[in-house]
Every structure is written in C-alpha cells, then in structure tokens.
Structure 1
Amino acid sequence: MAGNETGHGAIVRNRDLIDVWIEAPRGNRKQVVYEKILSLIDITDEPSEHLKSNIMKCSQLFGLKMANKWQKVGQSRNRLLQNQVYWLDKIIYRINNDSEENTSSDEEQEPPCCSVGRRRVPFEEASKKTKRRRVAELTTDRSANELQFAVNVVSGSNHSEVSPQIFSFSTAEALALMVDLDISVRKYLLLRSVINGKAQNCLPSYKELQNTKNAILPSQYIITEISAEVDLQELVQKTAESILEIINFEERDCRIKVICKWGFDGSSGHSQYKQKFSDLENTDEFLFLVQ
C-alpha cells in the first residue's frame, strides 16, 4: 500500500506498519516503525532534522493507537485485519514530491501527519456545552434580532419579523406565583418541569426561590415550644424594602410614608393532643396572636 502515487508522492498507511510493530521488541517498537517509514518514503538523500522529527512523531502516535487497538482485539492479527479495516487503510504519513524538492529551503513545509483527536460530532448531536462553544463567535457583538433574522434567511423564510422573545420569571415573580397559587414544593417542581420543557429556563429552581424567601424574611426570631416571636422593627423594615423593590420610582428625591397597623386576636377551645411539653404547665388549648 506504500509507494509513489502520481501527483501525490510517497504515502504510508497504518496497514504498512502493523507487522513490523508486532514483530519488534516492546522497548524498540517506536524506532523500528520510524525506520520502516523512512524506508517506505524512499528518500535517497540524508533526511533533514525537521523531517526526522516529523516521522518520529508519526511513529510515536502510531504506536499509541496500535497498542490500544492491539489490546482490544486480544492481540490477534486476523481480528485486527477484520475489525479495523478503515483505520488500517488510513494514511498516516504523506510527503509530496514538491515538498521533498524544497526540503533544503528555509521555509520547509511539515508533511501532514495523521489527524489527532476525537471525531467532530454533528451540531445536532453535540451537547449543550459544545453547541455554546461553537456558536460563541457568532453571538459575539450580535443582537438577538440580528441572529433571529439570520435564522429566517438560512431557513428560507421571507418573513423579517422577529419571533417574540421568551422572558423568564425572576425569582421574586416565581415566589409570588407559588404563594398565590398555594402550591407545595412538589407541585412547583412539576409545574417548572412542564413549563421549562416548552420554554427553557422560564421558571427558576426551587433553591433560588428559597434564597429569595430567606432574603425577605426577618433573620431574628425566637421560637419555643409554646411561642414564636419576631422583631417588629426588622419585620417592618423587610416589608418596606420588598415593596420598594417592586415599585419603580423615578430617580428623584422623595419622601415615602409607610403606614402599618397591628392588632391581636385570640381563640380557645382547641382540641388537646397527646404531645407532651417540657413544662407540664404549658398547654395548647388556648392561642393568642399579635399581628
């Protein structure tokens, strides 16, 4: 399979090197493959250091791939020939006649070696991370309208209108929705899964909702087995801050008055349960609430 081909020069394929690699001692395989490649490209003059370096790199790369495939086929030459036909016929080294004539020039061209790395996956089959990396150059300094118009052009659509942009719920909006609907955590996660399946990242995660809720709730409170107390000043402060974040005020000096009211209520006659208190004098029969 090696030799001179018209217009292409010397070509070496993986198939030309497997026998010498198998027969060579383990510690000397790279050198044996290197010498085999030199003999196949049939260079009459003394090869340059640049050419020797390139051939040695190809020899080393071939050895790594061959060792891996040799292990997979159970060190069977027949199975290697049957299962690795595509790889065996792959060109590992090529040197053009024109390049060989120019080896003495200052700008010596490096002969192409076999390709390294994984196979390039089609865009549709790639992961989200790979897709973002591939479109990074396209999205730089480009607006959403420009990209959408480009999509319409590529898809053959004559409509220049931009599809309506899908907005995501903020954590505050999603938290308000959850409270207004009075739904459990399980129902919110189910709702989020369905909506985000249609519009990606429309509803935030429940953990983000928890962080937002903790930010607007008082941080100082006292809880015992018969009472729960919250600092009134902090409660009013947190409530006022939440209202101010929702309302968009113009950038000007203004005075805002927050009017609050409080009261209390009580109830009695509750059913008593068998839950025991640390203090035997405590009871849950009566309830007094200040708000």
Structure 2
Amino acid sequence: MSSEDQDMSKNVIISRKTLVEVFFKSKYKSFDSKFKEIIDFVASQTNCPTQSRTDLTLQLRNFKRQFNTKWLLHGKHRERLFANEKTWLDGSCKFTRFVVINSGRPTSNFSDSSENSKRRKTSSLRAEMDADFLTYAAQMKLRSSGRTTEAQVIKKMSVCPKYAKDCFDISTEIKVKKISPREALSLLIEAQLSRKQYEIIRNYAKDIFPSYKLVQAEKALCYPKDVQVTETEAVVPLQSLLDHTATRLIHSQKSVLLTQSISSSDKIVLHTKWGFDGSSSHTQYKQKFISETADDKYMFLSSLVPLRLSYEKNDSTVVLWQNPKPSSSRFCRPISLQYRKETDELVKAKKQDIDQQVENLSPTKIKVNENVYEVVHKAIFTMVDGKLCNALSDTKSTLKCYLCNATSKEFNNLNTVLQKPVKNDFISFGLSVLHCWIRLFEFFCTFLINYPFRSGV
C-alpha cells in the first residue's frame, strides 16, 4: 500500500441479529453467496478497503462457523432460528473501523484500470496461485454472481483445450462466399446499377463480387443468336429465340431433370404465349434516318412469354418449371422491335409472319451431361387487345363484336344475337367485353336488394 495508510482507531459494534437479517435478505441461494452479502455489509460499515477484505473475512470466520451450525441445526428455518437462538442473536460482533488517509492520486476500480495496472495488481496473486486454482476460482466467482454463461465457457475451456482453440483462435479467418457472375448479373439488373456503380461497390468487397468482365460475359449468354438489327428494326427468328429460351430453362432445371429420371425419349413441351402491340408519342430526335418514311415517334413490339415447361408421364403432366409471374414484363422476350405505326395492314402482316414461323418450328435438342433432351414448342397467340382483335377480324367499328358482328343496338335483343354466326377462328381471343351489358352491375344490385334473405342462410 504505497499510496494509502490505514489507521485502526475505533471499533464498530454490529449485532448478530443484524448480520443474520442481511443474510436472509440476500437474493442468492447458496450459503457462501449469501454470506458474501454479510462481508459486503460489514465492509461498508467499517470503511474496509479492497486490500483488507481478507482480514475482514478472517474476523467473520468465527461468526460464520457458529451461524452455519445453528442454521443447519434448525433445518434452515428462519422463524425457528429466531425463536430458539434469541440469546445468541442478541450478542454482537466487534470489528475494526478503517480510517483511510489519502495521500496522492486516488486508486481506480479494477475494471477501469489500464492493462499495466491490472497486471501490477494481480502480480502477487498470479505468483502465489497456479493456473488451475485461478481458473476454478474465476468459474465459481462468475457462477455466484449469476453469470452462469461465462462460468460454463471457462469450465469448457479448462476441460477441453480444443474448445478454446475453436472459439478464440485469431488465425481462423471468416470465409466469405463469392457470388457467381449470374447472381451478380441478377443483382445488377434488379438494382438497376450502372457499370460505374457496380465497380464502386465491388471495390469495397472484391472477395464477394466478381469482376465486371465476368458479368459482361454472363450477360452475353442471355442473348439469342441470329439477331438482325437495322436502323428501324431489330428482329430475332422465332426458332432461335425459342431454342435459346428452352436451353436456358433446361440447364437451370438440371437438378430437377436428374431427380425426375427423364429419359431421352420423353418429349418435353415448352408452352409460350405471344402477341404484339403498338405505342406512340415517343420522343423524336433530330438524328435523321436513311429512309425518309422512318419515324421514331411510333413503335411496334412483338414478344413472347414462356409459361410452363412440362412433360407427360403415366397419363399425367409433370411440371418442370412454372412461370411465377406470367403477366410480368420481366419474363417478356422481344421477337421484333420496329419504328412503325400500328396499322391494320401491319398487324395482319406480322400475324401472318409469326404464324408461319410457328408452323415451321422444329423441336430443340439440348444435351445435358450424357443425355440429349428434345423440347417441343407450343406457342399460343393470346397477347392481344381490343384494337388488335378488330383489326384481325376486319371489324371496322369498335362498337361491334369481333366474334359475331353484333352492334350496340342489338345487344339487348338476345334472340337476334343468338342467331348471328360466330367466327370460331377468333374465339381464342376471349369473349368480347361488349357482350357484358353496361347496366349489368345495376341488375345485380336490384336482384340482391329484392332477394328474400332468410336467417341462417
């Protein structure tokens, strides 16, 4: 004690009953933990410094032995102890009051001390006690303080050194999984990142993201072959587009093909839907086209969407892949993109051209490992709107039904409508909305108001 001098000047008298009351008020369960509360109480009454706690414990040793004997004698029963040991409880214990004279810088708590101070304060303890003794003492001290998790960790480390190495080996580095170029491409598209933005992100995590060149190479694999581009049109043959789509789907479902045990003789069917539509009022730029009739104000798009990849087995359809969002633009694959205005002549010509390509489609043969699979294509023309339906069925008026040519005046006369011939070639377009009478909702409201509801129905 270089900075503190202790002067034992006065004594502190504390009754045994007070000490016992402190024992019973403790929140701990074990006897030693409860008795520690008595030591802390006496230390606060006598101003005992941390360095002299050992001397204080020795002064309480006789009281501890007597109290433990009487406590066990009465079956650890508080009321029985107070009733039968009144004479002993009325007695008192004498303790020395410590007077601390500060001369210099005050000492700090052990937890607030620096690393060098902690080593200096524990040097004598480490020199006198071996490692097993200190480890067990730390374990029991943590357990008595309610910190059971830390106590269990110290116990496991002392029993199994391999456990300590696995937990605290600083040489063990965390392995970060690097994403594939395909996953990086998906991230780049979903987040709509530019090349510069992606490279900035990659500079902070090169061990996670692949280089942009690998992402570009993966992006090139997403393009079909035989793409023809002019100044007013970009077209890909339907056969090439479907071959590319089928190949990508088959390779993405490679694990499913292996688990399903599909043989090379089983024909896989790729169901797709296709259609076209026009748009206008696009931004016109001053850059001139070679053709004087070309105009970038209008655009006409033909596209298809894959719906399902399946095959027949034991008179049942087994689905290998199902489009989760068949109406999403993310799955839309362009067939052609033209700077042309949507007209009846253009619609009919494009319909005839794609129909011809659909009739001439041939199966796609795809090799996966040692197996060769054959994919048959089934394309359905269903992506249409009312304007296209009228153009393809030669219906001049938008108030006429493209299926039966009924006019708005004839819709209320059911007998006249039922006698009209139906164009079966256009039934695949769906029912014309003109047949849904404009006052149909009013009819349902009137029907429900006048319907005799019954209780419990």
The TM-score bracket by the shorter chain reads: 0.3 to 0.5
TM-score by structure 2 length?
Answer: 0.27
Compare CA radii of gyration and give the structure with the larger one: 2
The two structures have a TM-score, normalised by structure 1, of: 0.41
Question: Which has the larger strand fraction?
Answer: 2
